Structure 1
Amino acid sequence: MRILIAGAGIAGLAAALALVRKGHAVQVIEQAAALEEVGAGLQLGPNAMCVLAALGLGEAVASAGQAPAAITLRDGRSAREILKVPLGEAAKRRWGAAYVTLHRADLVGILAEALERAQPGALALGVTLAAIDHRPDGVAITTASGDAHSADLLIGADGIRSQVRDTLVGPDTPRFTGHVAWRALVRIDPADPAAPPPGVGAWLGPRRHAVTYRIRPDLVNLVAVTEQADWREEGWNLPGDADRLRADFAGWNALTRLLDRVEHPLRWALHDRKPMRAWHKGRAVLIGDACHPMLPFLAQGAAMGIEDGFALAELLPMTGDPEPALARFFALRQPRTARIQAMARSNGVDFHEGNPLATLAMRLPLGRAAASRPDAVMARWDWLYGGGPGGLHGGKLA
């Protein structure tokens, strides 16, 4: 089929590569003139890495990033360990792939280069979508420059402010969660004993938490989340005040040296959306943040977009009417993404628990279980990280 994809982010590029490898003709349009990302790190669980391995990119992505040995929850002020989830070789043995942290721009670059090798010219930059015409036998689009394109299928991978979504279901109003995230990439000396420990660290405290992980040996990704009564802008790269960030986390001594190195943090107001009742209409379908944007408290936003692209490619027929496959795609993928959305929302509450007795009750049993039976703690995540590429379980997509 001839397939148009709006958006060259992680979901759009992963979908394009998976579709080209199946034999479809793909054209990706992206309004940005270059694939330049504001500095940001991301986490790819074994579920995402299994898909990337199936696309032939597992080794390239792993080499570009870091493989943390564990996810460790700590008290923000005392740095006392609360819970540790083993990763590294334990993740490979249990879930079939590593857990990887890397720079977002590195992943986008790897995907874009692989797509160019697979189908030269498939990616068109500096192209803005202006209008969409839904037809019984396909979709036609018009760009801002007046160019017209037609296809058998349109995939909206154009993110949280999706123009394709607006044409399918109309605009919606997101709900501000009360959480505002600070983001920064911080250069460190890996040998400095005051640097945050290797691995993924979640530092918890009343009404705030922070996450640290290395995306290169000398580069730490910091996300620090606080609570705020109101916010009007749904942006994720708004400039922030480094002194205010340090004041928000005063007394968190294990992070002081890292926070002192932050120069130009960005702020990100976290908005939430309810799960959608449909992701497709006619010959158009949504994937990734366009249909299931999620809060970052489970680190699965990028992974779900990668899974979407792979699953859609597996389900689409080579010719004929794609609509039955789009209906199946939604039926198989929506329960999984809705579950992850709900768990991420719940984590945002738990991480900020301010009642000391409730905090103690929540954390102590988890810590004891992790110390005595780490396999039992890992088993809690089999539904998320296991199952093979795209959440495939016995030929069925989860």
Structure 2
Amino acid sequence: MGAPRTVYIAGAGIAGLTLALALAKFGLQVVVLERNAAVSEFGAGLQISANARKVLDSLGLSQAIAERSFAPEGIDIFPDGRETPLQTLTLGRAIETRFGAPYAVMHRADLLDVLHSAARRFANIDIVFSVTDFVLESSANTLTVSAQDPDGKSRKAKPFAFVGADGVRSVTRTRYLDGSDARYTGKVAWRALVAPDALSDVLDLNRTSLLLNPHFHLVVYPLPHRNTVNLALFTQEKERDLSVLDHRAPRIKPGRDRRLARILDSVGEEWTPWVLSSVATPVWHKGPIGLVGDAAHAMLPFQAQGAAMGIEDAAVLAPLLAASPSAEHAFSRFAALRQERVKRVQDVSASNGKIFHMGFPFSLARNAVIRVEGPQGHFKRLDWLYGYDAIQTGKS
């Protein structure tokens, strides 16, 4: 037995830390390079569907996530200012029974804290913060990683592989794989957190709520662990206006929608804009350098699968890096197993954005389909998504 393989990862986000944990469980040495001074995540809430939860549970995180997440009973859909839900999609125990894991909502910072705390318990995971830059040099047989530690000392190593989990603006993708820059999607997410009392008589806070409008849509769900409610409002904004988003609230007029008016009043001006960009690159790897998560396939969040895809990536890639004869072989196999599925999720997410924002008369057809499908129609429609087993895929 030789020395264990070492894998360097750029980025201590959700995808990077999940991959670090998965690799460590296979006995590999892992070094994570993070540019920030501590684990941090922009945004507020995220949704963890069964396909992602099964991966996290396999890493021993089930109890920690259960303690800091919330499993809503369903999703209330309110199109065009309706007073009552057009449909309530079933979640809760039914979705757990069908897909083998619960559907939960969680604060991003809490998930990152769970991942980081778990990583710190592994002696074979080293997380280096405040790394401002790294340099990669690769040839047919060797890879050299150079970086400067926060104490000023130079770090130089020859790992088995380097994985860019460095997000939408990935340096790994653009500098070392000649990948394209992220593309603005024309949409902005406005984030806010409010006290539950402000909305308790407006929405059922045992459920997620989805408010649809031709000009925007709004997702609302509780985060009881933090005694708050997460709001994500999605609008269309011209690229020339992006520079002033931090200085104004979203331009939404509630009209006669009393529910929306109450929600907007509860937030006031306390919205944080998040520009939504996507990544479409056919090249996920070159030699011993590869990509995971948003660095490879950032997508619109309209199927709530951005984080889930990064978590799935980790489960598929880790056993390949552990067992493949070369990193290039592992990355090549990984791309073959993942690219078609991720493209399908990207397409569904983009399509949902169009469906959510349908205007009259197309919204009538959309609403009719939602009504006819019934409260569990999404189970069959999304079997391919929620029923996916990333762990078994990585073993294939």
Q: Give your verdict on TM over 0.5.
A: yes
SS at 2:388 equivalent: coil
Is the CA contact (8 Å cut-off) linking 1:240 and 1:264 kept in structure 2? Answer: no
Query: 23, 26, 29: which is aligned to 1:22?
Result: 26
Is the CA contact (8 Å cut-off) linking 1:102 and 1:216 kept in structure 2? Answer: no
Instruction: Give the residue type in structure 1 aligned to 2:313.
Output: D
Report the CA distance shift for 1:96/1:164 in structure 2 as closer, same or farther (over 3 A). Answer: same
Give the structure 2 partner of residue 305 of structure 1. Answer: 310
Equivalence map 1:149-228=2 (5 Å): 149-170=157-178, 172-189=180-197, 192-195=200-203, 197-216=205-224, 218-228=227-237
Cα shift at 1:119: 2.5
Give the structure 1 partner of residue 285 of structure 2. Answer: 280
Identity of aligned pairs, percent?
37
SS at 1:16 equivalent: helix
Query: 126, 130, 133: which is aligned to 1:122?
Result: 126
Give the structure 2 partner of residue 67 of structure 1. Answer: 71
Length-normalised TM-score, structure 2: 0.90
Give the structure 1 partner of residue 335 of structure 2. Answer: 330
CA root-mean-square deviation: 2.3
Give the structure 2 partner of residue 392 of structure 1. Answer: 392
Equivalence map 1:38-187=2 (5 Å): 38-119=42-123, 122-144=126-148, 145=152, 146-170=154-178, 172-187=180-195
Report the CA distance shift for 1:18/1:391 in structure 2 as closer, same or farther (over 3 A). Answer: closer
Query: 254, 259, 273: which is aligned to 1:267?
Result: 273
Report the CA distance shift for 1:155/1:221 in structure 2 as closer, same or farther (over 3 A). Answer: same
Is the CA contact (8 Å cut-off) linking 1:210 and 1:222 kept in structure 2? Answer: yes
Cα shift at 1:27: 0.6
Instruction: Give the residue type in structure 1 aligned to 2:170.
Output: S
Cα shift at 1:248: 3.9
Cα shift at 1:207: 1.8
Cα shift at 1:229: 3.0
Matched, 1:365 2:369: yes
Cα shift at 1:168: 3.1
Cα shift at 1:162: 0.4
Cα shift at 1:3: 0.4
Task: Report the Cα distance in structure 1 between the residues aligned to 2:395 and 2:125, rounded to whole angstroms.
Answer: 33
Q: 1:228-271, CA deviations, whole angstroms, 9 ceiling, x for partnerless residues?
A: 23347599xx63534x45x4445432133332222421112223
Matched, 1:353 2:362: no
Task: Report the Cα distance in structure 2 between the residues aligned to 1:29 and 1:40, rounded to whole angstroms.
Answer: 23
Report the CA distance shift for 1:79/1:311 in structure 2 as closer, same or farther (over 3 A). Answer: farther
Gaps of 5+ in 2: none
Is the CA contact (8 Å cut-off) linking 1:137 and 1:152 kept in structure 2? Answer: no
Q: 1:22-68, CA deviations, whole angstroms, 9 ceiling, x for partnerless residues?
A: 11110111010011334511111011101011111022112201001
Report the CA distance shift for 1:253/1:57 in structure 2 as closer, same or farther (over 3 A). Answer: same
Length-normalised TM-score, structure 1: 0.90
Instruction: Give the residue type in structure 1 aligned to 2:274.
Output: W
Is the CA contact (8 Å cut-off) linking 2:137 and 2:145 kept in structure 1? Answer: yes
Task: Report the Cα distance in structure 1 between the residues aligned to 2:139 and 2:125, rounded to whole angstroms.
Answer: 26
SS at 1:31 equivalent: coil
Task: Report the Cα distance in structure 2 between the residues aligned to 1:201 and 1:287, rounded to whole angstroms.
Answer: 31
Cα shift at 1:76: 4.1
Number of aligned residue pairs? 386
Cα shift at 1:352: 0.6
Is the CA contact (8 Å cut-off) linking 1:182 and 1:240 kept in structure 2? Answer: no
Cα shift at 1:291: 0.4
